[in-house]
């Protein structure tokens, strides 16, 4: 049996502690399946005295994770601290500069400088694995980097943030407001004290940027993503979607168009009978559409200590099974130097149309005015529903429109014209409708 693979872990939060426990509990099994023992030899975390439920007494402790990466006698540096800058960035670079393999779950770091880190790894002959950075325990990175080689991927989309999916699920199933569901998500630990990164769509955007590069061979472009969170989704939208045969999910979508690559993160209405519509709670799902395979849909736990640690462990095991001099899979699916410049797609027709909810004053001519503005912008309507308000809002009514496929600029122009007429109460709600093949 080969010599042990020596591991250094920076970050001992929920995922780090779970990883240590797995490596200690399954030491003998891993030695057999990987062909060599895997041993943790060094760790780094902010609080040395915190009880993490695992035995760290025999390990070398480094107060500074960068020092661990620079000096520890390790073969693999595991970064589980998070953050796009600071210690996470510095320690990963320090490890790669030594030719030390790196495993990370840090999507923010990869979205910010993944191409640069991939270049460093390739130059030093080191591996950089990051399965846990996207969709937790779902092996979507391996699928795109390895299993789908030879396929031409046309679209990648999915539910990539458990916090948002939990909130939307609770809103629908229990009729709760967004604020109440968010508060409950925070109480259960599904949402941070400051949840903005999740609910505004940034977390999903980072993950989507990584998948886009793997799917289409372009340089990572996190700043070229249309971004819209779920904070404006109301219980009225949830109910209207249900009446029309849809459910609302926060999706990340990347696809090839004639004018470039389109990346977008936003609330989306998906057909109730589609598979992805059935994905509830904190579960994640990623669909990959390709020319040979068709559509592959992977569903599983997208976060949590054991799910994420499982993905990290899989990356470590891959390194343990590799041998010096053997051909390795490029970090981003192809050599970093061959990645194409990212070309952002122009605004185009959106397959599946749009859902539009308008609260308007209940007076003559309003409906005709809305229809006129839609027609003037070349927008064809699939359905129209009018809902009178009751109680204090009896002087207004809700109009719900579902359009056929149309250009987004045309839709926005029509909505702006409706708003300018002065009969709109509050803001218009516009939600894309995404047609899926997974049904």
* Annotated domain spans of the chain: 5-136+305-338, 141-301, 349-433
Q: Yes or no: say if 15 and 309 are a contact pair by the CB < 8 Å rule.
A: yes
Name the token pair of 193.
Answer: 């004290």
Amino acid 349: pLDDT: 66
Amino acid 49: pLDDT: 85
Q: Yes or no: say if 62 and 44 are a contact pair by the CB < 8 Å rule.
A: yes
Q: Yes or no: say if 277 and 179 are a contact pair by the CB < 8 Å rule.
A: no
Amino acid 264: pLDDT: 95
Amino acid 439: pLDDT: 46
For 228-278, write each residue's pLDDT tens digit. Answer: 999 999 999 999 999 999 999 999 999 999 889 999 999 999 999 999 999
pLDDT exceeds cutoff 70 at 102: yes
Dmax (CA) for the chain in angstroms is: 84
Confidence of residue 18 (pLDDT cuts 50, 70, 90): very high
For 111-132, write each residue's pLDDT tens digit. Answer: 999 999 999 999 999 999 999 9
Give the lowest-confidence range in 170-179, 355-364, 380-389: 380-389
> Distance between CA atoms of 276 and 231, rounded to whole angstroms?
21
Section 62-79 average pLDDT:
97
Amino acid 393: pLDDT: 55
Confirm or reject CATH 3.40.50.720 for domain 5-136+305-338, answering yes or no.
Answer: yes
Range of 63-77, 190-204, 385-399 with top mean pLDDT: 63-77
Nearest of 254, 204, 255 to residue 229 by alpha carbon: 204
Section 290-303 average pLDDT:
92
For 50-64, write each residue's pLDDT tens digit. Answer: 999 999 999 999 999
Q: Which helix (H) or strand (E) holds 82?
A: none
Amino acid 335: pLDDT: 96
> Distance between CA atoms of 97 and 91, rounded to whole angstroms?
10
Confidence of residue 347 (pLDDT cuts 50, 70, 90): low
Q: Say what the pTM is.
A: 0.93
Amino acid 90: pLDDT: 98
Name the token pair of 171.
Answer: 């809103």
CA dihedral 197, 198, 200, 204 (to 10 degrees): 100
> Distance between CA atoms of 263 and 271, rounded to whole angstroms?
21
Distances from the Cα of 213 to the Cα of 40, 110, 140, angstroms: 32, 11, 13
For 218, list phi and psi in degrees, rounded to 5.
-105, 165
Confidence of residue 385 (pLDDT cuts 50, 70, 90): confident
**Which of the two residues, 423 and 436, has the higher pLDDT score?**
423
> Distance between CA atoms of 381 and 384, rounded to whole angstroms?
7
Amino acid 189: pLDDT: 83
Amino acid 205: pLDDT: 97
Per DSSP (E only), the strands in 302-380 are: 349-350, 354-361
N-terminal to C-terminal alpha carbon distance within the chain:
48
pLDDT exceeds cutoff 50 at 389: yes
According to CATH, the topology of domain 141-301 is Dihydrodipicolinate Reductase; domain 2 (3.30.360)
Amino acid 372: pLDDT: 94
pLDDT exceeds cutoff 60 at 1: no
For 190-210, write each residue's pLDDT tens digit. Answer: 888 899 999 999 999 999 999
Report the chain's mean pLDDT, rounded to a whole number.
Answer: 93
> Distance between CA atoms of 327 and 318, rounded to whole angstroms?
13
Amino acid 325: pLDDT: 67
Amino acid 2: pLDDT: 73
Confidence of residue 328 (pLDDT cuts 50, 70, 90): confident
Residues designated as active site: 207
> Distance between CA atoms of 383 and 398, rounded to whole angstroms?
14
Name the token pair of 435.
Answer: 């047609």
- What percentage of the chain carries pLDDT values higher than 90? 82
Confirm or reject CATH 3.30.70.260 for domain 349-433, answering yes or no.
Answer: yes
- What percentage of the chain carries pLDDT values higher than 70? 96
Section 210-219 average pLDDT:
97
Amino acid 418: pLDDT: 95
Neighbours of 200 (CB within 10 A): 17
pLDDT exceeds cutoff 70 at 390: no
Q: Which helix (H) or strand (E) holds 380?
A: none
Nearest of 129, 67, 64, 60 to residue 98 by alpha carbon: 67
For 293, list phi and psi in degrees, rounded to 5.
-80, -25
Distances from the Cα of 93 to the Cα of 137, 268, 314, angstroms: 25, 38, 22
Those residues whose C-beta lies under 8 Å from the C-beta of residue 308, and which sit 6 or more positions away, are 15, 18, 105, 132, 136, 137
Section 213-240 average pLDDT:
95
Nearest of 96, 143, 129 to residue 315 by alpha carbon: 129
Neighbours of 28 (CB within 10 A): 9
């Amino acid at each position: 049996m080969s010599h042990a693979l020596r591991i250094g872990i920076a970050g001992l939060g929920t995922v780090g502690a779970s990883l240590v426990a797995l490596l200690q509990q399954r030491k003998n099994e891993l030695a057999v399946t990987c062909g060599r023992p895997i041993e943790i030899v060094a760790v780094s975390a902010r609080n040395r005295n915190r009880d993490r439920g695992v035995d760290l007494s025999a390990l070398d402790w480094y107060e500074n994770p960068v020092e661990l990466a620079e000096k520890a006698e390790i073969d693999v540096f595991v970064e589980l601290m998070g953050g796009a800058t600071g210690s996470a960035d510095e320690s990963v670079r320090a490890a790669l500069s030594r030719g030390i393999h790196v495993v990370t779950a840090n999507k923010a770091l990869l979205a910010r400088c993944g191409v640069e880190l991939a270049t460093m790894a390739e130059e030093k002959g080191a591996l950089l694995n990051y399965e846990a950075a996207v969709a937790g325990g779902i092996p979507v990175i391996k699928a795109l980097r390895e299993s789908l080689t030879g396929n031409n991927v046309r679209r990648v989309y999915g539910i990539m943030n458990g916090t948002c999916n939990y909130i939307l699920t609770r809103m629908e199933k229990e009729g709760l407001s967004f604020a109440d569901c968010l508060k409950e998500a925070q109480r259960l630990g599904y949402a941070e004290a400051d949840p903005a990164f999740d609910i505004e769509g940034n977390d999903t955007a980072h993950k989507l940027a990584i998948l886009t590069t793997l799917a289409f061979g372009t340089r990572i472009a996190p700043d070229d993503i249309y971004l819209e969170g779920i904070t404006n989704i109301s219980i009225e939208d949830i109910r209207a979607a249900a009446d029309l045969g849809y459910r609302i999910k926060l999706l990340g979508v990347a696809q090839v168009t004639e004018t470039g690559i389109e990346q977008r993160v936003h609330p989306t209405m998906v057909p109730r009978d589609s598979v992805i519509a059935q994905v509830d709670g904190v579960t994640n799902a990623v669909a990959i559409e390709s020319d040979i395979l068709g559509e592959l849909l992977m569903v599983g736990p997208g976060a949590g200590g054991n799910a994420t640690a499982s993905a990290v462990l899989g990356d470590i095991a891959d390194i343990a099974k590799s041998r010096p001099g053997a051909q390795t899979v490029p970090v981003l699916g192809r050599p970093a130097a061959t990645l194409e410049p990212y070309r952002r797609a122009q605004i185009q027709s959106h397959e599946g149309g749009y859902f539009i909810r308008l609260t308007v004053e209940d007076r003559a001519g309003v409906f005709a005015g809305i229809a006129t503005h839609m027609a003037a912008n070349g927008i064809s309507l699939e359905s129209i529903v009018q809902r009178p308000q009751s109680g204090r809002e009896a002087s207004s009514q809700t109009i719900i429109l579902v359009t056929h496929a149309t250009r987004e600029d045309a839709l926005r122009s029509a909505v702006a014209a409706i708003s300018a007429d002065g009969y709109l109460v509050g803001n218009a709600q516009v939600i894309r409708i995404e047609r899926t093949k997974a049904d």
